[in-house]
A and B are shown apart, each in its own frame.
Chain A
Amino acid sequence: KAGVTQTPRYLIKTRGQQVTLSCSPISGHRSVSWYQQTPGQGLQFLFEYFSETQRNKGNFPGRFSGRQFSNSRSEMNVSTLELGDSALYLCASSLLGDSVGYTFGSGTRLTVV
């Protein structure tokens, strides 16, 4: 079966711009969670969506937002980009959430210049 697909794989944006990243989960998976990975902070939880509802949000500013569509595909948006937003953004999908494990996508590497 197809894995978790993240697009685009690489992205270069200018400070102040906004960006939208996409994540298509494994078919049938209803939970999609997003993570940011940087060399300094490691992996950090951004938010999780389940059946189009945001269930929880990590400690990130309001510039980071997301949504989930009825087909479980999810997007995350970062507005007013800052240099510090340069990171690998990973999404993971799960049938129900933490209790049954996650499958991760390959990530989108965002560079803000």
Chain B
Amino acid sequence: KNEVEQSPQNLTAQEGEFITINCSYSVGISALHWLQQHPGGGIVSLFMLSSGKKKHGRLIATINIQEKHSSLHITASHPRDSAVYICAVGLGGGADGLTFGKGTHLIIQP
């Protein structure tokens, strides 16, 4: 069974700061997902990674397969980025569903 560890659990920062959220997993995977969940529950899939780096707007996600580690970065953070960010890993082809980290509660203060 894959163990997924996220850090930090909680993060409060000022608007404009550069944010980094980390995710480590214990077993080789086919893909790693970064998800965003706002109050009310809806989940948005931000990135799916199997190698390297992806960028979308102010969000950047990287993954190091050898080290079993991924990071999510937010540049020029804004209060609307306040949410729970969840890392999830999968073995591919529906073999095992997704295993989730506990999430990082991010608050960006104006």
Contacts and interface: CB of A to CB of B under 8 A. Distances in A.
Contact of A97 (B33, B93, B99, B102): B93
Interface residues of A, number: 31
Given A43-B100, A45-B99, A97 B43 contact: no
A75 interface: no
Contact of A56 (B43, B95, B100, B103): B95
B92 A45 contact: no
B41 A106 contact: yes
B12 to A, nearest CB: 20
Interface string A79-102: 000000000101010001111111
Contacts of A27: none
Interface of B: 30-31, 33, 35, 40-45, 48, 86, 88, 90-103
| Shortest 9 CB-CB contacts between residues of A and residues of B | A45-B97, A98-B90, A43-B100, A104-B43, A55-B94, A97-B94, A101-B48, A106-B42, A107-B41
